[in-house]
Structure 1
Amino acid sequence: MTSDAEVWKLQQEIPSDPSIGSGLIQPLLEAMTQFEWEDLDLFRVQLAYEEAITNAIRHGNQLSADKTVQVGMHVDGERLEIEIVDQGPGFDLSKVPDPRDEDRLECPGGRGVLLIHSVMNQVHYSDRGNKVRMIKIKGQRCKADDA
């Protein structure tokens, strides 16, 4: 079991501003580096985080200045978890079209959810669809490794 002294945490409420959302990743990457995570894991976590925070701000909150996003992150030497909650209406994951379908190959956008699932070890959405929890386990393979 890891003690609190061996865990890096961040819990923050941010406005629906993509530049502020993107700025939160750097401290997490620095913490991962301190815990000796591999560069590939840093890259994958940054990619998943950027996709998820963009989805929350742009699609969930519709860039609304009167809505916020809750961001929670923690990492230690073995496990990382990111939770992002927006104030939007949510979405139904089963209704998100597969961007690999022939008629969607040239459509811009729509690849974020697939990408997140490919690079993280676990991804969970709330029933409402306005909260995502992403987990990365140090040294554990993910779907992107099988591609």
Structure 2
Amino acid sequence: MQKKILIVDDHDDLSTVLTHEFSKLGHVVVLCESRDEAVSLIKDKDFDLIITDLDGEHLTSKSDETDNITCLPEIVPDSRSNVKAFKICVSNSQKNEINDDELKNLIETTLNYKAKFVDQKEIVQNLREKIEFEIPSVISVMHAILDYLMKRVEKIGVVNAESSNLFVALDEAFVNAVKHGNKFDVAKFVRISAEVSAKEARFTIEDEGEGFDVNGIP
């Protein structure tokens, strides 16, 4: 089924290649180069998937008002050359319209290209990048994201894959969010956030489940 995809990319790191790949699959791809441009497009059109890859200078806003568009990275208060934001988001209004395998293919294509050709070691070592995903509760998609995040932190030496328990910890958190939090309900989202730099990596995984009372745990 044809999907409408928005790619927000200020340096053509992803847009040309992904436009070619997604167009071959029959999808419609719209491109822009800043967060402000993306806001205008999103207000006028419904997108199934939004992919953002922006430097700090294009994460600022000309407006003083908060736009509350959660599918885009947060606004930064000023231009920061060493800050980067990468986000993949399934539009909340379209989350029931994407087939699991189709979604997995779109995300894997994006992440595989970014890992191989965009995340060059000499570049990412000097960056502080916020990486975010807002996606339905699909385990197979979680595995693709986990694989990408591990490659990303390994590349800059934050962890050693052979001696770290990070993979196990993230995998358990992802599965818990899908299985226990959202109870495999694809209408509920999992939100994954990673802040990565040469010195540290911080991860947050959120689901839309009902939660539990910690005082009720035996």
Scaled to the shorter chain, the TM-score interval is 0.5 to 0.7
Q: What are the within-5 Å matches in structure 2 for residues 1-147 of structure 1?
A: 3-4=82-83, 6-39=127-160, 43-96=164-217
Letter in 1 for 2:168: L
Distance 1:8 1:96 in 2: 36
Q: Structure 1 residue 41: deviation in Å?
A: 7.7
Q: Structure 1 residue 96: deviation in Å?
A: 4.0
Structure 2 gap segments, 5+ residues each: 1-81, 85-126
SS at match of 1:39: coil
CA contact (8 A) 1:15 1:69 kept: yes
Distance 1:54 1:64 in 2: 13
Letter in 2 for 1:68: F
SS at match of 2:165: helix
Q: 1:94 to 1:45 in 2, by over 3 A?
A: farther
Q: Percent identity?
A: 26
Q: 1:75 to 1:42 in 2, by over 3 A?
A: farther
CA contact (8 A) 1:32 1:42 kept: no
Aligned residues: 96
1:61-89 Cα shifts (integer Å, max 9, x gaps): 00012111111112111111111111100
Q: 1:75 to 1:41 in 2, by over 3 A?
A: farther
Q: Structure 1 residue 37: deviation in Å?
A: 2.7
CA contact (8 A) 1:73 1:83 kept: yes
**With structure 2 as the length reference, what TM-score do the two structures score?**
0.40
**With structure 1 as the length reference, what TM-score do the two structures score?**
0.57
SS at match of 1:77: coil
Distance 2:163 2:189 in 1: 26
Q: 1:40 to 1:92 in 2, by over 3 A?
A: farther
Distance 1:42 1:71 in 2: 23
CA contact (8 A) 2:158 2:201 kept: no
Letter in 2 for 1:14: I
Q: 1:72 to 1:92 in 2, by over 3 A?
A: same
Q: Structure 1 residue 14: deviation in Å?
A: 1.1
Structure 1 gap segments, 5+ residues each: 98-147
Letter in 2 for 1:48: A
Q: Structure 1 residue 92: deviation in Å?
A: 3.0
